[in-house]
Amino acid sequence: MMVVTVVALARSRNLFAVVVLFGAYSFLMATVLVALDAVDVAMTEAAVGAGISTVLFLGALHLCRSEEAKPAHRPLIPLALASGVGALLVYGSLGLPAFSDPTAPIHTHVAPRYLNEGPKETGVPNVVTAVLASYRGYDTFGETTVVFTAGIGVIALLRRRNKNKAEQS
């Protein structure tokens, strides 16, 4: 189903259809994440990917034309580059440990400590929250700052345009 959505996404020239398909794709991705037991990530994907970004894309779409412009040249070189990088990534993924392999480095480094000591040290039953807010507090602080900076940037960009328009008229 996700493959069908992606093919439709790439083929469609109507940007409104693309935005709606993108929302559907996000929702399918969220169900995949639920199947992988990553409920926190699935919730974020459903809320941010399928909800807010669809609304913001529709808002942006309202400001421009809803038909994608025809490309000026044949997409052969980009296609070759994309398939080349894709092949390299697939080749690289062959060297990864098998899915849910208990001896993989990611499961032997800090994960056992988080899982075993986390509930005791922080008293928080949800390990995701404990890792996100406590053990990896710096990272989450950085993420919040990124959201803050992005918001300030958009405010700065769109505000000035408004003021210019007001001065012109």
Partner 1 sequence: MNQQLVLRVIAKLLIPFILVFALYVQFHGDFGPGGGFQAGVTLAAAMIFYALIFGLATARRNVPDRLLEGMIAGGVLLYGGVGVAGMLLGGNFLDYFVLDADPVVGQHRGIFWVEAGVALTVSSVMLKLFYLFADRANHSGADVQNDLNRPEGGA
Interface with partner 1, residue 123, by CB under 8 A: yes
Q: Which of 17, 58, 104, 111 binds partner 1 (CB under 8 A)?
A: 58
- CB contact set of 47 (below 8 Å; sequence gap of 6+): none
CB of 44 or CB of 83, closer to partner 1: 44
Interface with partner 1, residue 125, by CB under 8 A: yes
Report in angstroms how near the CB of residue 25 gets to partner 1 at its nearest.
14
Binding segment (CB under 8 A) for partner 1, from list 5-13, 50-58, 69-77, 94-102: 50-58
CB of 87 or CB of 155, closer to partner 1: 155
Residue 14 pairs in a beta bridge with 67
Buried b (16+ CB within 10 A) or exposed e, 72-107: eeeeeeeeeeeeeeeeeeeeeeeeeeeeeeeeeeee
CB of 77 or CB of 147, closer to partner 1: 147
Which value, to the nearest 10 degrees, does the dihedral of the CA atoms of residues 101, 49, 130, 134 take?
120
Q: Can you tell me the distance from the alpha carbon of 14 to that of 12, in angstroms, rounded to the nearest whole number?
A: 6
Interface with partner 1, residue 130, by CB under 8 A: yes
Interface with partner 1, residue 72, by CB under 8 A: no
Question: What is the rounded radius of gyration, in angstroms, for the C-alpha atoms of the chain?
Answer: 22
CB of 6 or CB of 20, closer to partner 1: 20
The footprint of partner 1 (CB under 8 A) covers 23, 39-40, 42-44, 47-48, 51-52, 54-56, 58-63, 121-126, 128-130, 132-134, 137-138, 140-141, 143-145, 147-148, 150-152, 154-155, 158-159, 161-162, 165
